[in-house]
Structure 1
Amino acid sequence: MAEALVEQHSIDVVPDEERHGTAFSQFTLWLGANLQITAVVTGALAVVFGGDIVWSLVGLVVGNMLGGAVMALHSAQGPKLGLPQMIQSRAQFGVRGAVVPLLLVILMYVGFFASGSVLAGEAVGQLTHTSHTTGIVIFAVVTAVMAVVGYRVIHALGRFASVICALAFVYLGIRLLDHADLSTLLKNAHFSLPMFLLAMSLSASWQLAFGPYVADYSRYLPRTTSGRATFWWTLSGSALGSQWSMTFGVLVAATAGDKFLANQVGYVVGLGGAGLIASFLYFVIALGKLTVNVLNTYGGFMSMVTSISGFRGQRVLSQRGRAAYIALIMIAGTAVALLGKDSFLASFKDFLLFLLTFFTPWSAINLVDYYLISKERYDIPALFDPQGRYGAWRWDALAVYAVGVLAQLPFLSTAFYTGPLVAPLGGADISWIVGLVATALLYWLLARRSPALPAGTEPTTGTGAGLKAEADHV
């Protein structure tokens, strides 16, 4: 039973006989991962920065749907290829060239682990009647253990969290409306294009951040799983969960303002009540953060293995090696959380949002290549061979990636850098739109005019005898 529960695969192809589950599993996983306190804070920022209630909500819906669609397109790649998300980047950037976006992805995972641990650590500390620091450490260890067990426990956690957190948010919504007049709040509607674009960017960026690892959690689905079903269940779970949380955040910010931002966890728990109810809500906050933090840890582990294996030629990983990689992510994230729990995380959050600038062009290149250029067909053995058809470094794709990053800078707005075109747009940050469109168009023009791939076996999705031999080998 333990062997069946503990995951054996990492960056290698998942054989057909080990595939299981249905596309609906993506709904519960992403619903549970988005019904959490950080999504609430993200929604609140739309109002804190000056937006009205009605148009902030509309902007958040649009951003969640647009960003969620991009994220869900990545999810649909999982059942088709049976590979984790970032290993696919080797088809675009080369077996070793994929390390360029991967290094930034790993940094993002460590940062998200840290910021999540701070909020969850406070809740765990309250539950265990210990200090904030002890709560952070306990939370980090539990996160690492679940990431080591892997795929099955991650989805089980998502199913559990989707039910428990949904019930908690229904209760909190009722309590919030007891303190506020909804009809009065909804009268706060004065359209401002910059504030509308800000709300849309907040939610779209939230969804785009899932892109580098979303296929990690769909790759065990049977190959016959409908791509459309995977897409729609992923999109509906992620968009519904995040919009639910962000809507709550908008209403909380409109009624509580600085009281909420000064102590997000304390305010939410206080809104719910005291005694056993307070304990339950602390548990819910920790559960929501645990769900997404396990995803961050697991994704960081996959990205580290993908980066190193491109140079070492490694295709399989021992359980001891798996635990070691995950421990590195846990230690690094916990260290950052402990160092920044009092003052650093506000600035670090801006840094993490800045990092999203580097993931938007990656996402555009990956999706254009997979759906429009390669037509959902990759030569899977070549993804592990620097001498194969994808090569070690694909400098043309890396150049497009660099152009995509640079194209966003004039439109980027963060606490430590603001582009020259932000002010003419009234302060709106539309960098992610520019990054997606410009990079996708440039890569498509370049790739469709490039010479055909070297002669060899036909590109495959990994079906047939070729995949069986490859699966046996890895």
Structure 2
Amino acid sequence: MTHTSQSTPGSGVERNGINPVPEAERRGTPRELFAVWFSWNVSILGISYGIYVFGLGLSVLQAIVAGVLGYAGSAFLVGVLAVGGPRTGLPTLTQTRFAFGFHGNKLPTLFAYLSNVGWKITIITLASTTGAGLFARLWPARFARPDGHSTTAAVLLWYVVVLAVTLVVAVFGHKVIIRVEKWIAGLTSVMTIVFIALILPNIRWSALGSTGHGSWGAFVGGAIMAMTMVGIGFLNYGGDFARYLPRCTRARGVIGWTAGGITLPVAVLLILGVLLVGSDAKLGAAAASDPIGALTALLPLWFFIPFSLVIVISRWWCAMRPPARRCGAGPAAPPTGSPGSRCSTTPTANRLSASYRRRCRPPSAGSIRRRASCTTSARRRGSCACAAARTSWSACC
């Protein structure tokens, strides 16, 4: 069965699911990937990650080096996997069928799907508790308990609002997402810089050298922990935005901008977290259990209000990563073999875009190689000249 474009030009509704993104819809440069990954990772949670690494018994310097190495290594792996996006036009969890086969891909995809859903729930909950905390501080008589914490009703109210907005916006297309990502990346960057400037006076620099050095095993464990907290979690959808780039986009650009967008924000925040816990163990322990509550408590009210709103926006937008954007289940659900189409996975998507069903068989290994191959001279020209690369083929449903 020959597959045609699944998007409606000008509609703004994302219709591409596990199908290859058509050549006519490929656009942009690898530089756009930086804002996407940066906005997802510039989060106050990055400070608590530094506290966790330091908690393995490392010194301040060891924790910083181990964390940055772990972040950079895992982000590089995400960048490598992202290269498959432009080459095939497929989401990462559909590309894995080339290695595992149609049925063999179901088990790893199922685990990836469960992991993604759990992470979305966590992100939306963090956004909800932050918004509820803002209400509790502004209107304590209505939204705060006697101990000062937000009421359950306030958290539920914010949870419903954030979840509803996530479901509605999830159906909008890649072009809209990229445009908004640039604004959110800029906004979160400015607010994070101001936040760091306000937090730095709480670091007792004279106390940083009082901790002992950890063992070599603890150092390796810290690097592995940093890898699992950031980059490893992105591996199962590393190429989901890169697939919208032209087929012969240079691999080094995809790897570099992806890895840089992931590593830069989390590395800066990890260093801040290590410095905080290395100088004040009590503050570090509080931030490890409740990073948002413990760290925002140090902020003046004039900055606490806009910063809390930015946290809500950034956490909500983080929940809009590719698996959530594709109608709640994304590339992680259809590749398990379920017959439902991408836009039949949530009621909201059904109302905003036409649902479709189709069954097709996986392409042969030969057609995959012909489709993904580009000549060296074509790469220099920036376009695919291979006739075989332009042949129409169907992705496995």
Give the TM interval when normalised to the shorter protein.
0.7 to 0.9
Q: Which amino acid aligns with 1:133?
A: L
Give the secondary structure class of the aligned counterpart of 2:239: helix
Of 228-237 and 251-260, deviating more is 251-260
Count of residues paired in the alignment: 347
What is residue 437 of structure 1 aligned with on the other side? none
Q: Is 1:260 the counterpart of 2:287 in the alignment? A: yes
What is residue 161 of structure 1 aligned with on the other side? 184
What is the Cα deviation at residue 212 of structure 1? 0.4
Q: Is 1:289 the counterpart of 2:315 in the alignment? A: yes
What is residue 403 of structure 1 aligned with on the other side? none
Higher helix proportion (structure 1 or 2): 1
Structure 1: gaps spanning 5 or more residues: 328-382, 391-452
C-alpha separation in 1, matches of 2:9 and 2:390? 27
- The within-5 A match list for 1:123-162 is 123-127=130-134, 131-162=154-185
Of 41-50 and 86-95, deviating more is 41-50
What is residue 372 of structure 2 aligned with on the other side? 461
Q: Is 1:303 the counterpart of 2:214 in the alignment? A: no
C-alpha separation in 1, matches of 2:298 and 2:56? 23
Q: Is 1:29 the counterpart of 2:36 in the alignment? A: yes
Q: Which amino acid aligns with 1:461?
A: A
What is the Cα deviation at residue 208 of structure 1? 1.1
What is the Cα deviation at residue 46 of structure 1? 1.2
What is residue 361 of structure 2 aligned with on the other side? 385
Of 126-135 and 53-62, deviating more is 126-135
1:290-342 Cα shifts (integer Å, max 9, x gaps):
23211152374211022235xx4x7xx474x1544979xxxxxxxxxxxxxxx
1:344-376 Cα shifts (integer Å, max 9, x gaps):
xxxxxxxxxxxxxxxxxxxxxxxxxxxxxxxxx
1:428-453 Cα shifts (integer Å, max 9, x gaps):
xxxxxxxxxxxxxxxxxxxxxxxxx7
C-alpha separation in 2, matches of 1:217 and 1:20? 11
1:117-143 Cα shifts (integer Å, max 9, x gaps):
221111122345661122222222222
Residues 155 and 137 of structure 1: CA distance in aligned 2, closer, same or farther (over 3 Å) = same
Q: Is 1:8 the counterpart of 2:15 in the alignment? A: yes
Q: Is 1:270 the counterpart of 2:297 in the alignment? A: yes
Residues 45 and 458 of structure 1: CA distance in aligned 2, closer, same or farther (over 3 Å) = closer
What is the Cα deviation at residue 228 of structure 1? 0.8
- Contact map agreement 2:330 2:342 (CA 8 A) in 1: no
Q: Which amino acid aligns with 2:371?
A: T
C-alpha separation in 2, matches of 1:191 and 1:473? 50
| TM-score of the superposed pair, with normalisation by structure 1 | 0.67
TM superposition outliers: structure 1 runs of 4+ over 6 Å: 471-474
C-alpha separation in 2, matches of 1:56 and 1:250? 7
- Contact map agreement 2:72 2:259 (CA 8 A) in 1: yes
Of 212-221 and 246-255, deviating more is 246-255
Q: Which amino acid aligns with 1:264?
A: P
Greater RCO structure (CA 8 Å; 6+ sep): 2
Match of 1:248 among 254, 272, 275: 272
Residues 471 and 125 of structure 1: CA distance in aligned 2, closer, same or farther (over 3 Å) = same
What is the Cα deviation at residue 251 of structure 1? 2.5
Give the secondary structure class of the aligned counterpart of 1:97: coil
What is the Cα deviation at residue 467 of structure 1? 4.0
C-alpha separation in 2, matches of 1:107 and 1:43? 26
What is the Cα deviation at residue 91 of structure 1? 0.6
C-alpha separation in 2, matches of 1:90 and 1:325? 29
What is the Cα deviation at residue 260 of structure 1? 1.7
What is residue 222 of structure 1 aligned with on the other side? 246
| TM-score of the superposed pair, with normalisation by structure 2 | 0.79
Seq. identity, %: 22
What is the Cα deviation at residue 102 of structure 1? 0.3
Q: Which amino acid aligns with 1:28?
A: A
What is residue 54 of structure 2 aligned with on the other side? 47
Residues 467 and 246 of structure 1: CA distance in aligned 2, closer, same or farther (over 3 Å) = same
